[in-house]
């Protein structure tokens, strides 16, 4: 129904490796159109600057409470 080859589906089931196009094709064939639509509606981050700020903050190390 999805048009995705069976070996690709098997690889996805075992290794979670699949192209975005094939993932969408499978989701649509399985009736998940609404979930895909809601997932893609509003981006979590709107600019590259927001993503860069998050990346910088991920590498921050918290200080100790007992700092002198």
Number of residues that make up the chain = 68
Question: Residue 51: its pLDDT value, please?
Answer: 84
Comparing CA positions, the residue from 45, 41, 40 lying closest to residue 57 is: 45
The CA distance from 37 to 29, in Å, is 14
pTM: 0.57
Instruction: Report, as an integer, the average pLDDT of 25-46.
Output: 86
Neighbouring C-alpha atoms within 13 Å toward the C-beta of 3: 6
CB atoms within 10 A of CB 22: 16
Can you tell me the mean pLDDT for 20-27? 93
Cα–Cα distances in angstroms (integers) from residue 33 to residues 24, 58, 61, in the given order: 9, 33, 41
Name the pLDDT band for 4 (thresholds 50, 70, 90).
very high
Model confidence pLDDT, tens digit, residues 39-63? 778 777 788 898 888 888 776 666 6
């Amino acid at each position: 129904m999805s048009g995705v080859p069976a070996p690709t589906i098997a690889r996805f089931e075992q290794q979670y490796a699949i192209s975005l196009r094939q993932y969408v094709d499978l989701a649509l064939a399985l009736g998940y159109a609404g979930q895909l639509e809601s997932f893609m509606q509003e981006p979590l981050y709107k600019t590259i600057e927001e993503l860069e700020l998050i990346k910088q903050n991920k590498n921050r190390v918290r200080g100790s409470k007992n700092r002198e």
